[in-house]
């Protein structure tokens, strides 16, 4: 293409640039015209130069974007390299000329080898300590004026050539009259006025960028910098900061305090300070950017940067007081072995409040654990607000923030992949928010960015740049984690001995509850409990409703009666109840072939599988979908995909031949039956069958909706308990423990892998009817209290139990997915493919203060005895279950040590349990968030039952065998 044609094409394209860019140009020229009319006084010359350069660089790159489209692909890289070269030179030239705050900005950019092109890094490195020096006369004049003495009366020797010259000051080596070797830091004359003006200019530029490109709104960053940067202009402030950081890190000028909790760094001792002069002890070291000296001293750069990172982790998470300017010019390495880092320049520091320090530690650990709930809680605590509900993207961004560093050669490729991922994320936001292209370009997902974490973010970015420029790899998660954990462990009050409110302040319903609370305190003091709820009914009345402990290992909020605990396989009992509810309503039969209800299910030899086989764990599908976690764990969250896969899988054994626990497949087998028999969504059936009649709104979820995250407890995996309780390979199949009937695909390693995954919000929001119940203990206890009475709903909880059961606003905003259903009730699919029921299933039962007018609600129409026989697989239903099996039709049979069956229910792998005693009209639920495999639960069950003189389930009777063979349901 000839030059005229190229220019013509460019002009035509330029006419189509976004409207905001043209407006920006007009505003800039208006601003420049205003400044010219004022005579371009010195203080405004800087602003004109800064705005002019910003405008020309912006236009240079915008122009290049257009030219690139008209250029051969092979020549594009060369175009960009030349653009980077000329613009980097422009930036360096102006910064050197202006000095002041722009040097600080250049120093920051010079460390970002993980972000900027190499030419920027190479040129801007000169700003770290190699600026043109101020005259010796100016330096001596400032010293004598500040210290009130002549140079001869202060120093035996003063080296004329500075060691370094930076943005605010320059440093000279000197010898005091008494012979001590020192360095003298002297502030540049007039720099205060320049810095304050530069801050205004920087603020104007950021405002301009935020207006032109709203997704790049850096106002919170510049606002925080405007607050903190002026503090650097008072060297008395810097002197006190230096002393404080040195004390915090346990540093001594003549050596190191070797206590294990401290880090191995050195900090110079403060000798004397005034507002503009700072005298420090001299420490002989080499600069980090002196590669030749580092090689000659054989310094391990990896170990060096790791120790610097540890020092900052200590400052941030342990002390809550840290240096906010870790660029290479502010570090030395001692020449003498073992070559410790020397930390310099504490003018820009940040003091964090205790709450923000905890929130930052919580955010870090949430990223390490993949815990969406803790992450969103940390965001809330630090004041970070998002405009939309996309926790997976929040976790993704946080993981990027704390990602391991890479050498500069790899960093740019990483940035490209991150940019591509950001583009994908913005497309998801566009779909979720229903934005057009122009709107999504101007959409900022952050609603509020707290100033307290701006300097923290800057430090992490500077450390990342330092690692890249030193060509080393640093794992933030492994290095910083112990420090983040230490602050939470030391300040979080887990145990009742030091926390008088460890047991939640709620009414005591009975003497046995009062005794139980004392017992729980004993267990808590022994560090057996993290968080717990216990609720029990006797003869239709609440006798226990106790909550204690905290919501998670890194979440110090107290457990309340309405907290939601992940209960794993306790969920199966509720799911089984839904199947029986549909049987009671005439929607299906227990002995009916599943293929009659769910036609797609009949392939690959499953045409003879009946509903009772699935409820009784004898369908031969115990290993179905076992490999899904290895293939892609997130497939577990795709309800339609899992239903599709469960429908085509082949059984391993003949139906009814062998009882092997369907630990994972059970949920989708029952879920598919429930949806196809009812013609409704799984959650709709749960709502209609149990949530509304039991008045447990907001505390009875299988797959949580958005809006309840603040009440979620987080399960903690105790790896020591895991290894201690793992069953041995030669475990006898004749044992009474259900662990002996687990399928071959189940392993304890699988538990270790899946439990952390289950804490993620993605999984918690998924429909997993085998293992994803999020219940309060009082909601599950109410469920079993109704079951023990044949479906009669017990009276409501006392209004003195706060918050009242069923008082939470319900959030029926579950994900809409297409579900193939047999629409027996005439319901229709909406535009998203989800089922629209005839009536609003989410209308809550109105509350009333006059409980005397309540009419008994009965969930089931069948008589109590018939229901219990169906649940247990006894009486008329005995031919539908495996002889002498541990399960009836969906429920675990509970029996005494002499073998007599007295009740039914279900336990879960985390130690939670819910069951009822038919003979004594007793129902109890225990929810835990510290993995215990049932040992702790057994002690609580034994305690309560002994106080009430009730039978104890055989698995919880306290035998020595139980200790080695945990109940895994």
Hey, which residues are catalytic here? 325
Rounded distance between C-alpha atoms, residue 196 and residue 314, angstroms: 31
Rounded distance between C-alpha atoms, residue 648 and residue 708, angstroms: 35
Cβ contact 605:646 at 8 Å: no
Token code pair at residue 909: 């792998």
Half-sphere exposure of 835 toward its Cβ, with a 13 Å CA cutoff?
24
Helices 665-678 and 639-648 cross at an angle (nearest 10°) of 100
Phi/psi zone of residue 942: left (φ > 0), alpha (ψ -120 to 50 degrees), beta? alpha
Rounded distance between C-alpha atoms, residue 278 and residue 182, angstroms: 10
Rounded distance between C-alpha atoms, residue 421 and residue 416, angstroms: 9
SS (H, E, C) 874-894: CHHHHHHCCCCCCECCCCEEE
Token code pair at residue 158: 């003063």
Rounded distance between C-alpha atoms, residue 756 and residue 752, angstroms: 7
Cβ contact 397:767 at 8 Å: no
Token code pair at residue 13: 């394209």
Give the residue among 275, 272, 253 at the shortest CA–CA distance from 178.
272
Token code pair at residue 617: 């764990």
Rounded distance between C-alpha atoms, residue 364 and residue 487, angstroms: 12
Rounded distance between C-alpha atoms, residue 254 and residue 331, angstroms: 18
Q: Which residues contact 665 (CB under 8 A, 6 or more apart)?
A: 621, 622, 623, 624, 625, 626, 646, 649, 770
Q: How many residues does the chain have?
A: 969
3-class state of residue 895 by DSSP: strand
| Largest distance between two CA atoms of the chain | 109
3-class state of residue 804 by DSSP: coil
Rounded distance between C-alpha atoms, residue 520 and residue 347, angstroms: 50
Cβ contact 114:405 at 8 Å: yes
Token code pair at residue 440: 């999504």
3-class state of residue 533 by DSSP: strand
Rounded distance between C-alpha atoms, residue 114 and residue 405, angstroms: 8
3-class state of residue 374 by DSSP: helix
Tell how far CA 350 is from the center of its chain: 24
Cβ atoms within 10 A of the Cβ of 352, count?
22
* Neighbour-count burial of 373, counting CB atoms closer than 10 A to its CB (0-12 exposed, 13-18 middle, 19+ buried): buried
User: Strand 446-448 to strand 385-386: parallel, antiparallel, or no bridges (unpaired)?
Assistant: antiparallel
Token code pair at residue 932: 């215990």
SS (H, E, C) 248-311: HHCEECCEECCCCCCCCCECCCEEEECCCEEEEECCCEEECCCHHHHHHCCCCHHHHHHHHHHH
Rounded distance between C-alpha atoms, residue 654 and residue 660, angstroms: 12
Rounded distance between C-alpha atoms, residue 319 and residue 298, angstroms: 32
Rounded distance between C-alpha atoms, residue 784 and residue 868, angstroms: 12
Rounded distance between C-alpha atoms, residue 348 and residue 125, angstroms: 20
Phi/psi zone of residue 878: left (φ > 0), alpha (ψ -120 to 50 degrees), beta? alpha
């Amino acid at each position: 293409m000839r030059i005229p044609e190229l220019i013509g094409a460019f002009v035509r394209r330029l006419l189509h640039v976004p409207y905001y860019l043209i407006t920006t140009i007009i505003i800039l020229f208006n601003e420049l015209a205003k400044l010219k009319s004022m005579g371009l006084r010195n203080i405004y010359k800087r602003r004109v130069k800064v705005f002019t350069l910003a405008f020309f660089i912006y236009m240079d790159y915008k122009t290049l974007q257009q030219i690139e489209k008209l250029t051969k692909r092979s020549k594009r890289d060369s175009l960009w390299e030349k653009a980077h070269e000329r613009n980097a030179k422009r930036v360096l030239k102006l910064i050197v000329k202006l000095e002041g705050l722009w040097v600080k900005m250049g120093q920051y950019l010079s460390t970002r080898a993980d972000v900027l092109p190499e030419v920027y890094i190479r040129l801007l490195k000169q700003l770290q300590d190699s600026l043109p020096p101020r005259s010796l006369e100016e330096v001596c004049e400032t010293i004598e004026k500040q210290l009130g003495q002549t140079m001869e009366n202060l120093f035996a020797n003063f080296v004329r050539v500075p060691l370094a010259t930076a943005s605010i000051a320059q440093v000279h080596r000197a010898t005091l009259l008494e012979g001590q070797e020192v360095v003298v830091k002297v502030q540049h004359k007039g720099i205060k006025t320049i810095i304050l003006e530069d801050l205004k200019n920087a603020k104007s530029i950021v405002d301009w960028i935020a207006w032109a490109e709203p997704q790049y709104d850096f106002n919170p960053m510049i606002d925080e910098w405007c607050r903190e940067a002026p503090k650097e202009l008072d060297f008395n402030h810097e002197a006190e900061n230096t002393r404080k950081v040195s004390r915090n890190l346990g540093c001594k000028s003549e050596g190191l305090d070797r206590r294990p909790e401290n880090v191995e760094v050195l900090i110079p001792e403060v000798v004397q300070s005034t507002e503009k002069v700072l005298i420090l002890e001299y420490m002989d070291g080499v600069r980090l950017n002196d590669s030749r000296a580092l090689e000659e001293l054989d310094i391990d750069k990896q170990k060096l940067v790791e120790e610097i990172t540890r020092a900052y982790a200590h400052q941030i998470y342990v002390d809550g007081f840290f240096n906010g300017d870790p660029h290479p010019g502010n570090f030395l390495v001692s020449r003498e072995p073992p070559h410790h880092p020397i930390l310099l320049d504490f003018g820009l520091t940040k003091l964090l409040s205790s709450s923000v320090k905890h929130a930052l530690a919580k955010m870090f650990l949430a990223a390490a654990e993949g815990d969406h709930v803790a992450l969103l809680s940390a965001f809330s605590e630090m004041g970070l607000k998002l405009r939309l509900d996309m926790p997976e993207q929040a976790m993704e961004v946080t993981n990027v923030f704390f990602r391991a560093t890479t050498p500069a050669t790899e960093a740019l490729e990483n940035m490209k992949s991150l940019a591509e991922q950001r583009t994908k994320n913005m497309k998801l936001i566009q779909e979720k928010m229903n934005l057009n292209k122009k709107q999504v370009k101007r959409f900022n997902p952050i609603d509020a960015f707290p100033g307290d974490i701006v300097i923290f973010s800057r430090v992490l970015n500077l450390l990342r740049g330092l690692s890249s420029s030193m060509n080393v790899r640093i794992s933030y998660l492994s290095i910083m984690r112990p420090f983040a954990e230490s602050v939470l462990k030391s300040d979080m009050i887990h145990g009742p001995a030091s926390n008088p409110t460890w047991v939640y302040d709620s009414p005591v319903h009975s003497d046995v509850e009062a005794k139980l609370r004392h017992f729980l305190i004993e267990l808590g003091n022994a560090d057996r409990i993290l968080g717990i709820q216990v609720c029990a009914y006797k003869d239709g009345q609440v006798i226990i409703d106790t909550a204690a402990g905290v919501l998670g290992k890194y979440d110090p909020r107290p457990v309340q009666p309405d907290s939601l605990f992940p209960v794993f396989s306790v969920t199966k009992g509720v799911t089984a109840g839904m199947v029986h509810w549909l049987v009671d309503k005439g929607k299906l039969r227990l002995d009916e072939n599943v293929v009659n209800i769910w036609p797609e299910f009949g392939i690959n030899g499953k045409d003879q599988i009946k509903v009772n086989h699935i409820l009784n764990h004898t369908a031969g599908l115990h290993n179905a979908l076992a490999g899904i976690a290895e293939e892609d764990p997130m497939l577990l969250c795709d309800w339609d995909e899992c239903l599709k896969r469960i429908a085509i899988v082949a059984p391993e054994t003949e139906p009814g031949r062998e009882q092997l626990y369907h630990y994972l497949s059970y949920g989708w087998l029952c879920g598919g039956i429930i949806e196809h028999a009812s013609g409704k969504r799984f959650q709709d059936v749960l709502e209609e069958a149990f949530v509304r009649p039991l008045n447990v709104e907001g505390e009875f979820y299988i797959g949580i909706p958005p809006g309840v995250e603040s009440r979620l407890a987080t399960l903690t995996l105790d790896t020591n308990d895991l290894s201690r309780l793992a069953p041995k390979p030669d475990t006898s199949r004749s044992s009474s423990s259900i662990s002996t009937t687990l399928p071959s695909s189940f392993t304890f390693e699988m538990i270790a892998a899946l439990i952390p995954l289950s804490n993620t919000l993605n999984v918690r929001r998924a429909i997993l009817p085998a293992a994803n119940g999020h219940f309060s203990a009082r909601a599950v206890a109410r469920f079993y209290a109704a079951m023990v009475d044949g479906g009669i709903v017990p009276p409501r909880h006392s209004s003195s139990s706060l918050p009242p059961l069923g008082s939470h606003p319900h959030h029926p905003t579950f994900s809409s997915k297409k579900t193939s259903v047999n629409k027996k009730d005439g319901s229709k699919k909406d535009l998203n493919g989800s089922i629209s029921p005839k009536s609003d299933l989410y209308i809550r039962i109105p509350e009333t203060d006059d409980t005397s007018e309540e009419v008994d609600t009965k969930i089931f129409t069948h008589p109590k005895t018939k229901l219990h026989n169906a649940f247990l697989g006894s009486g008329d239903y005995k031919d539908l279950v495996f002889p002498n099996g541990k399960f009836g039709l969906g429920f675990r049979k509970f029996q005494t040590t002499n073998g007599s069956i007295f009740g039914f229910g279900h336990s879960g792998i985390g130690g939670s349990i819910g069951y009822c005693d038919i003979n004594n009209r007793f129902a109890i639920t225990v929810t835990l968030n510290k993995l215990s495999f049932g040992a702790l639960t057994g002690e609580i069950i034994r305690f309560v039952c002994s106080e009430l003189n009730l039978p104890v389930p055989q698995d919880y009777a306290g035998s020595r065998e139980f200790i080695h063979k945990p109940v895994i349901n």
